[in-house]
Structure 1
Amino acid sequence: MKALVLSGGAGTRLRPITHTSAKQLVPVANKAVLFYGLESIAEAGITEVGVIVGDTAEEIQDAVGDGSKFGLQITYIPQDRPLGLAHAVLIARDWLGDDDFVMYLGDNFIVGGISALVEEFGRNRPDAQILLTHVPDPRAFGVAELDGAGQVVGLEEKPEHPKSDLALVGVYLFTPAIHAAVRAIAPSWRGELEITHAIQHLIDARADVRCTVIQGYWKDTGNVDDMLEVNRTVLEALDRRIDGEVDELSETVGRVVVEEGARIINSRIVGPAVIGAGTVVNNSYVGPFTSVAENCRITDSEVEFSIVLRDSSIAGVGRIESSLIGRHAEVTPAQHVPSAHRFVLGDHSKVQIHP
């Protein structure tokens, strides 16, 4: 079995972060989301991986390399434009050959990995197997309709009036039967070749399409709220480790990781939290569910339930919470101007101001 990992896409819901960085490389607990997926694939015993790349191909390739650090053999497959999940299967046809494969969306996060799913698929070998999970608002997802016996009878992509609350999780398993299906479908109203339409084609042809409803944790990390929630989940499993310097005026409480080369000076760190290598926290408070990447500076400030990317600085700004701060960002206090605010914001930013 092979794996096809999708790492293209524009990442519009994570702008402005994704104006300059691939969404799959935004870190969760100081490790790229994409890396968790690659590790799950390796743990499932799969070694041959095709990675679909788009505009951020160079950044993805620099981060992943040849795959050897994950125990994988990586082949990069360029996609000129993000034209749908089924289009990714279409352009990967030659590389996939006649092998079964798992398709994994690179910005998805699944606790517990996919080993059991891959084993189940290998035993039964249906034409397609999909993962489903109950969600509060299925309108933003592909949605499955099941009959009374729990068999998949219909799939819809982002329906206005969903027929169930069962959303498709971003992991799919296929035999070569999927190739004829992706060639048979037409682009949707979005101009994309939808994988839901290809699977529906298999259902209509009476192929063996099965589903597994997962009860574990799954997130599509496509927006800031979900990124922060996944970060919280990962940090909850953190083991305490202090490899950096913590001075005698500082306190670390609970599951705190201070990486080698980091320095904590006259500060309080309350876990679960991780402080990256080379980062300096001075006269500050870092609270629970916060990950600070490498080579950052936090001075005279408080940060909680947030993700701070590498080479950024926060100085003298009081309290920050529920925030995602990009690479090389600077957060400083503004000069006091009555009834005025001053911003430098990226495209599609959202700002909340206390009156």
Structure 2
Amino acid sequence: MKAIILSGGKGTRLRPLTYTGAKQLVPVANKPILWYGIEDLVKAGITDIGIIISPETGAEVQAKTGDGERFGAHISYILQEKPAGLAHAVKVAQPFLGDAPFVMYLGDNLVQSDLNIFLDEFKTKQLDALTLLCNVPNPTAFGVAEVDQSGRVLRLVEKPKIPRSNLALVGIYLFNNSIHEAIANIQPSARGELEITDAIQYLINHGNQVEARQIQGWWLDTGKKDDLLEANRVILDTCLVAANHGEVDNQSQIIGRVRIGERSKIKNCTIRGPVVIGEDCDIENCFIGPYSSIADQVVILNADLEHSVLLQGAKVLNIQQRIVDSLIGQRAQIKEAPQRPRAVRLMIGDDSQVELA
């Protein structure tokens, strides 16, 4: 069994961060989102993995993720020249996949369920396709499945105005090689893309065995800032193991589950977990509140923050207001003016949102 992970796309909902980097490399609990999917697949025994990359961010994904050795896998990189749909990504990956059954995993998803459960059922029942589903309160925002009581998929609809169910497609699919014929026989949708939902519907219409199963546990879509912060909260809540590999002085107080990376220095701070702090950080005269992830080489001086994600090399200096619910990019600097300002001066990237309180 093989797998492909989709790591292309433009990540427009996470701009301005994704103007300069791949959305799948944005960290959750200080680990790139993409890596969670790789680890899930390896845990399920799938080690031959192809990662679909785009011309804009593919080199960065490849440089950061490598050949798969660190995960116990072999990773191949497959270039998708343009974002022409999920089914198009499978078409591009066909030389890598050959006739092997495979898992298709969207690289910006995080799931708690054990993939082995679904792999075993897919193999035992010799299905042509198995889609994973999750109950959602807002099905109009997703691809939605209509299934019968036995789990057989009757129909798939992409972002329906009047949904027939609240079962959303999670973004993890299991296929045998019949999906390639289906993709060869569908046409681009109204938005000009080859939709995987159309390919699966083709299988359904031609009598193939297509079933669906609901995942157990959480499913996290990290496409927007608030979604990413929620994913960070859930991962810290469920997965963080406390450890201190840095230097914490006697004036500091560490409360709850906190992980501190090597060579990081904590001076005169209160840190209330769950919090993860990367390597080579300098944090002084600060309060770091719950559900914060601080990447490597971050500097925070005379500031308070909580429920926030700071990427590598960010600096937060001398801020009187508490920073909350924030996502701060690589090497970004936030600092207060030397004198108390009567006006606000900002340099903000395209598509940013600013709230002044």
TM-score range, shorter chain: over 0.9
Give the Å deviation of 1:149.
Answer: 4.2
Select which of 242, 250, 259 maps to 1:248.
Answer: 250
Give the Å deviation of 1:112.
Answer: 3.7
Measure the CA separation in 1 of the matches of 2:285 and 2:114. Answer: 39
- Match of 2:322, SS state, is strand
Show the 5 A alignment for 1:52-201. Answer: 52-54=52-54, 55-201=56-202
Select which of 311, 314, 327 maps to 1:312.
Answer: 314
Give the partner amino acid of 1:352: E
Aligned residues: 353
Measure the CA separation in 1 of the matches of 2:341 and 2:317. Answer: 19
Select which of 322, 339, 353 maps to 1:350.
Answer: 353
Per-residue CA distance 1:214-266 (angstroms, 9 max, x = gap): 13111111111111111111111312111100000000001001111111000
Give the partner amino acid of 1:266: N
Give the Å deviation of 1:337.
Answer: 4.1
Is 1:48 the counterpart of 2:51? The answer is no
C-alpha contact (below 8 Å) 1:301/1:316 kept by paired residues? yes
Map of 1:13 onto structure 2: 13
Measure the CA separation in 2 of the matches of 1:125 and 1:102. Answer: 14
- Match of 1:281, SS state, is strand
Give the Å deviation of 1:151.
Answer: 2.3
Superposition TM-score, scaled by structure 1 size = 0.97
Which stretches of structure 1, 4 residues or longer, exceed 4 Å deviation after superposition?
A: none
Map of 2:233 onto structure 1: 232
Q: For residues 113 and 17 of structure 1, do their structure 2 counterparts lie closer, same or farther at Cα, with a shift above 3 Å needed?
A: farther
C-alpha contact (below 8 Å) 1:267/1:284 kept by paired residues? yes
Measure the CA separation in 2 of the matches of 1:329 and 1:161. Answer: 43
Give the partner amino acid of 1:290: S
Map of 1:22 onto structure 2: 22
Q: For residues 121 and 148 of structure 1, do their structure 2 counterparts lie closer, same or farther at Cα, with a shift above 3 Å needed?
A: closer
Measure the CA separation in 1 of the matches of 2:254 and 2:263. Answer: 16
User: What root-mean-square deviation, in Å, do the aligned CA atoms of Structure 1 and Structure 2 show?
Assistant: 1.1
- Match of 1:92, SS state, is helix
C-alpha contact (below 8 Å) 2:256/2:273 kept by paired residues? yes
Measure the CA separation in 1 of the matches of 2:150 and 2:178. Answer: 24
Give the partner amino acid of 1:66: D
Select which of 251, 261, 267 maps to 1:265.
Answer: 267
Give the Å deviation of 1:290.
Answer: 0.3
Give the Å deviation of 1:148.
Answer: 4.5
Measure the CA separation in 1 of the matches of 2:249 and 2:207. Answer: 67
Measure the CA separation in 2 of the matches of 1:303 and 1:123. Answer: 50
Give the Å deviation of 1:316.
Answer: 1.3
Per-residue CA distance 1:74-102 (angstroms, 9 max, x = gap): 11110111110000011111111110000
Give the partner amino acid of 2:119: V
Q: For residues 117 and 150 of structure 1, do their structure 2 counterparts lie closer, same or farther at Cα, with a shift above 3 Å needed?
A: closer
Map of 1:332 onto structure 2: 335
C-alpha contact (below 8 Å) 1:53/1:77 kept by paired residues? yes
Give the Å deviation of 1:138.
Answer: 1.3
Runs of 5+ consecutive residues of structure 1 not aligned to the other structure: none
Give the partner amino acid of 1:341: V
